[in-house]
Amino acid sequence: MSSTPSEPELLARAVRHLAPVLPLLTELGERFRAAGHELALVGGPVRDAFLGRTSPDLDFTTSAGPEQIEATLQGWAEQTWDIGRAFGTIGARHQGRTVEITTYRADAYDAASRKPVVAFGDNLEDDLVRRDFTVNAMALRLPDLLFTDPHDGLGDLAAGVLTTPHTAEVSFSDDPLRMMRAARFASQLGLTAADDVRAAMTDMAGRLSIVSAERVRDELSRLLLGADPRAGLELMVDTGLADVVLPELPALRLEIDEHHRHKDVYQHSLTVLEQAIALEDEPGAEGPDRVIGPDLVLRLAALLHDIGKPATRRFEKGGGVSFHHHEIVGAKLTRARLRALRYDKDTVRAVSRLVELHLRFHGYGDGEWTDSAVRRYVTDAGPLLGHLHKLTRSDSTTRNRRKAERLARTYDDLEARITRLRAEEELSAVRPELNGNEIAEVLGIAPGPVLGRAYKHLLAVRLDQGPIGREAAEAELRRWWAQQPEADEPTTGQQEAEQPTTGRQEAEQPEADQQ
């Protein structure tokens, strides 16, 4: 029977995990000691070392002020930057590795301000008590690697519990974003919020509204990209954080899913998210529709795909419930929410498009779609086709095994048809068989709305009929043009021919002078 490792044994393991960066830690610690300053590795890197994880960051805290940090790094760092000087943070790069060194400090928010008020401290213990959670309030004093854990963060880490060094109310008052971090750590690290932490989050959720949308967005993204987003999202909803950050999510708890197979649309959406994550491809996967995980666009789309249901719910005669056009409404709501959270345009566009398209497959039935309909499915999805494949498959949460198997087989058939058409027609790059310049030449028209209409018509023909050849495409273009009101107007060539010769000369003369 194995016994629980002692603290020295755990520390030895952590130090071994830090082996690749130990030379840097020792060298930097000795440098600060020689300058008369304390230095400690702190927070995430220490926590992750105990978990056997490799932290992407190296964060240090020191008794030195920002100017002293810069002076101590001179001659050691290849580059330094002071974008965080107001918060006491100096960044540096040494032999390809980035470090951040911060003066002992405390963050506090003014009740009406989004920006933290910074107060510098003078000792490590006071710095640690002001940190967000005990698992992040552990430090290794350098260069001697002396473990400092005044709030038993190692014990909480072993127990899988998230607690705060100070009272949770004080911690969250100092920086309300810490409540979002609690949800993020539930997703990333599998930690469960202690009762007092959960209670404080519930009581103080509204205070999150003073934090900038960009900071909230970044925490939400990290949560969604974690190993268990469901745990973090459920903590957000249960404590009321989601009412501030993502109110469309808790609103789904009130809705009944149209299949009457799930407790509510909220639980259905979380299940779809989990199933979408399970479908993400591993790094190195090949194929035109691969989605390498963790993928933020897919996860956001899976979470938000049904947020249009509350606004479209209708109670039908006989006790049924319908959600007609909820994908269209949901796409608009998704776009608005992601913009409010300051997501970039590409992410907003991609996620809202997936929400809009997530029901398209259900028109496929038992494979009755024509090749034209399949082409349109691929063309409408564009570069998001792989995401749409995984979102559509993950949206099946029925407990009816036969129905689930039938849906899977039907989608298998659709993907097989897409593969065949791709091979035959280069489906991912469907274009009309005449480009814009060629259309303009055939019709004798200038660029503009009419040319755009002609292009769209030929694209529709291409999607409906497949490749028909240049001559047939030109004949179809002329047939379409004969039915347009603009066909009776003079073409560009005719207009030029009708202009007086002197007028043409006068119009061209200034250009010649410029040359």
User: Quick check: is 331 in a domain?
Assistant: yes
Written as tens digits, the pLDDT of the chain (515 aa) is: 456 788 889 999 999 999 999 999 999 999 999 999 999 999 999 999 999 998 888 999 999 999 999 999 999 999 999 878 888 899 999 998 999 999 998 656 666 665 666 778 889 999 999 999 999 999 999 999 999 999 999 999 999 999 999 999 999 998 999 999 999 999 999 999 999 999 999 999 999 999 999 999 999 999 999 999 999 999 999 999 999 999 999 999 864 544 444 448 999 999 999 999 999 999 999 888 999 999 999 999 999 999 999 988 888 787 778 788 999 999 999 999 999 999 999 999 999 999 999 999 988 877 788 888 898 899 899 999 999 999 999 998 888 888 889 889 999 999 999 998 888 766 556 778 888 898 898 888 888 888 889 888 888 888 778 788 888 988 988 899 888 888 776 655 444 444 444 333 333 333 333 33
Parent domain of 332 = 260-429
User: Quick check: is 241 in a domain?
Assistant: yes
Are 271 and 193 found together in one domain?
no
Show which of 391, 408, 429 is a domain's final residue.
429
Domain CATH number, residue 218 = 1.10.110.30
User: Quick check: is 493 in a domain?
Assistant: no
Q: How far apart are CA 319 and CA 469, in angstroms?
A: 54
User: Quick check: is 264 in a domain?
Assistant: yes
User: Quick check: is 253 in a domain?
Assistant: no
Polymer length of the chain: 515
User: Quick check: is 495 in a domain?
Assistant: no
Is the Cβ–Cβ distance between 309 and 326 less than 8 Å?
A: yes
Is the Cβ–Cβ distance between 186 and 192 less than 8 Å?
A: yes
Are 303 and 438 found together in one domain?
no
How would you classify residue 13: left for phi > 0, otherwise alpha for psi between -120 and 50, otherwise beta?
alpha
Q: What is the DSSP string of 50-67?
A: HHTPPPS--EEEESS-HH
β-bridge pairing 161-162 and 192-193: parallel
Beta bridge partners of residue 292, listed in sequence order: 281
Are 264 and 385 found together in one domain?
yes
Show which of 211, 245, 279 is a domain's final residue.
245
Show which of 156, 184, 206 is a domain's final residue.
156
Position 491 scores a pLDDT of 54
Are 359 and 476 found together in one domain?
no
User: Quick check: is 328 in a domain?
Assistant: yes
Are 353 and 380 found together in one domain?
yes
Are 18 and 151 found together in one domain?
yes
Are 182 and 229 found together in one domain?
yes
Which tokens go with 333? 């709501």
Q: 494 phi and psi, to 5 degrees?
A: -65, -40
Which tokens go with 445? 């028209």
Q: What is the DSSP string of 245-304?
A: H-THHHHGGGPPPTTS-SS-HHHHHHHHHHHHHHHPBPTT--STT--BSS-HHHHHHHHH
Are 264 and 389 found together in one domain?
yes
User: Quick check: is 310 in a domain?
Assistant: yes
Of 234, 160, 232, 169, which Cα lies nearest the Cα of 196? Answer: 169
Are 126 and 183 found together in one domain?
no
Are 264 and 121 found together in one domain?
no
Domain count, the chain: 4
Are 450 and 344 found together in one domain?
no
Are 231 and 321 found together in one domain?
no
Domain CATH number, residue 90 = 3.30.460.10
Q: How far apart are CA 53 and CA 56, in angstroms?
A: 9
Three-state DSSP at 123 gives coil
